[in-house]
Structure 1
Amino acid sequence: MQLKLIRLLLLLFTLSPCLLLAQVNTDLIALDINVSASKAIVYTMTAKAITNRAAYDNQPNFINKKQLAFSAADDKGNHDIIIYNFESEKFTNLTKTTNTSEFSPSLTDCGLYVSAVTVEEDGKQRLWLYPTNFGEPELLYDDIEPVGYYDWYNNKAAMFVLGNPNTLVYPYSKSEVLTIDRNVGRSIKRKPKSSIITYIDKNNPLEKEDGLIYPILGFDIEKRTHHKYGYTLPGKEDFIWLNQNLIMMGSGNQLYFKKANEDEWTLAGKVGISGYSDISRMAYSRKLKKLVVVMNRVSP
């Protein structure tokens, strides 16, 4: 048990450097958003807390037009995958484990599973598949670990593998696991309607007055070509794609977007909900026209 706790603490430090400093007190905030081909407007007055407790509710990802999956800590510090339904406003445990912890949920390409990075009882961090019909989970890649983050293309996962440095890999086959890049950031995102996996390159930052900015790069899985999409906001590394053309990031309580082929970030809105600060991870649903952001709880 002590070994498992030590490894879990190491995982939390790696998966989110600010997580323990914030005492894992994060909530999910939902907002209405309007996204066009060239612009995003966040209706900040619609901000509503989905979760509201002094614990870790984080890593949101939409799995269909009405449900959101996220990782949540219980009162013993174990992490499970929770499903939130926007129509019923109810929560359901997809996992409820005592000897493992599950992080970074995502829907697989086939739609039959919610995948998650699972910290196993012996401390291994591997990618597991959890059937949406609540069947028995399946281990996906037995020999690729420790996995931190990932995204899907063609029923295979491009994975951020923890190490010194952290690497981004893609398993074309059992015998060909390609290392796409080294020293990458934690955001691994497929560009919508494409075969391009995007990520942050931490090798070549630029120094600005308010912090370092990092290149946002892409790798085309099919063509095996590299692409550039400008730079991050200063000191930030959580981004999402709103569509094929727009990238969004948060800084403090503000949300910004930019066109993929341009450098300038534009303010989309400020989240003024009381008791919260510091936007990190995000999830977007085109069908619901909803944006979900993770924010730190502020002590009164």
Structure 2
Amino acid sequence: MITNICKTGLVIIGLVVAGTSLMGQLPASDIYLCNVKWNQKNILINKPVLLSSFNADKYNNQPYFEDYQNMYVTSGDSNNKTDIVKLNLFDREYFYLTKTEGISEFSPQLTPDKTSISVVRIEKDGITQTLWSYPLDRSNHGINMLPNLRNVGYHVWIDTKMIALFLVDSLPKLALADIEKGSVSVIQNGIGRCLKCKNGYLFFTVKGEDGRHAVKKYNIRDLSIEEVAVLPEKTEDFEVLTNGNIIFANGGKIKMLNVSTFPPQTSLVCNLEDYGIKNINRLVSERDRIVVVNLKTK
């Protein structure tokens, strides 16, 4: 549990209501940290640690590891307004990176040069969604990196100038943007919200006619697209491990797809249902740590 409260840290302009154009009413959710031990026979897990007690019974989502010790999350209030919060997993402290009236941010990431955070902003009209970067040293009030885009949903960095984007549309689009040139090119229609960049590949999902999401990888070097695996029904989010295997959640269970086999074999990583975690909708990993988001049920 995060117990030491520190709200006087870095404050950057801009907050984004995770607005009606993408998220609608924000569901109450909790974030948990699990320490795992990977070995050849099985995976051991300790009791999950609640990270979001500072914002109990409200929206807490989109965790992102800055490094092994620190992470960013999106936290919302009762008015559907969201801030970016930084958590120190060692000291169990937190502080708000954003706290501004009329605007919300979500989908936080550290920029490749490690000097700023990039976020999706929902502007004051509650509809326009833009991509901004805010310097961690507070040297300015932030920059709209792609001012011609007004429908950014999620993003992931590919390198220092290229970003992959989920563009909100009747049929969501995967686009690549060059922030130096300001150019944007669509490479896939009908994608899911989960974007990952690992080992020289951009991973994303495409929803098939049967309703299941196929995980695909885009080769950044030769621009080819290859299907990796198909996720179970009603599963959209995933994480790519350093060895290329994929983990995903089904209810309160975390499972792994071994992509070195054909077809990929599924195994159980851990079952968190005994801890009351029964509705995982996002997960991220860093070495021996897995952080999950559990949607609360009424």
Normalised by the shorter chain, which TM-score bucket? 0.7 to 0.9
Give the counterpart letter for 1:267 in structure 2.
L
> Are 2:67 and 1:56 equivalent residues in the alignment?
no
> Are 2:139 and 1:132 equivalent residues in the alignment?
no
Per-residue deviation, 1:220: 1.6
**How large is the Cα RMSD of the aligned pairs?**
2.2
Deviation string 1:22-54 (CA, Å, 9 cap, x unpaired) is: x61101011012346x887251x4211111311
DSSP 3-state at the match of 2:239: strand
Unaligned runs of 5+ in 1: 14-19
| Count of equivalent residues | 275
Give the counterpart letter for 2:224 in structure 1.
T
Unaligned runs of 5+ in 2: 1-15
Structure 1 contact 180–219 (Cα < 8 Å) conserved: no
Structure 2 contact 122–130 (Cα < 8 Å) conserved: yes
Give the counterpart letter for 1:199 in structure 2.
F
Cα separation, partners in 2 of 1:30 and 1:231, compared to 1, 3 Å: same
Relative to the length of structure 1, the TM-score reads: 0.85
CA distance in 2 between partners of 1:28 and 1:154 (Å): 28
CA distance in 2 between partners of 1:62 and 1:104 (Å): 12
Structure 1 contact 145–162 (Cα < 8 Å) conserved: no
CA distance in 2 between partners of 1:134 and 1:247 (Å): 37
The aligned residue for residue 206 of structure 2 is 201
Per-residue deviation, 1:64: 1.8
CA distance in 1 between partners of 2:49 and 2:280 (Å): 14
CA distance in 2 between partners of 1:88 and 1:273 (Å): 27
Give the counterpart letter for 2:273 in structure 1.
G
CA distance in 1 between partners of 2:61 and 2:245 (Å): 23
Give the counterpart letter for 1:184 in structure 2.
I
Deviation string 1:217-264 (CA, Å, 9 cap, x unpaired) is: 111222111122111122110001121421110010000011234422
> Are 2:169 and 1:163 equivalent residues in the alignment?
yes
> Are 2:244 and 1:239 equivalent residues in the alignment?
no
DSSP 3-state at the match of 2:21: helix
Per-residue deviation, 1:6: 10
Aligned 1:13-162 pairs, distance under 5 A:
13=24, 20=25, 24-35=27-38, 41=43, 43=45, 45-52=46-53, 53-122=56-125, 123-135=127-139, 136-155=141-160, 156-162=162-168
Structure 1 contact 94–134 (Cα < 8 Å) conserved: no
Instruction: Give the fraction of aligned pairs with identical amino acids, expressed as a percent.
Output: 23
Relative to the length of structure 2, the TM-score reads: 0.85
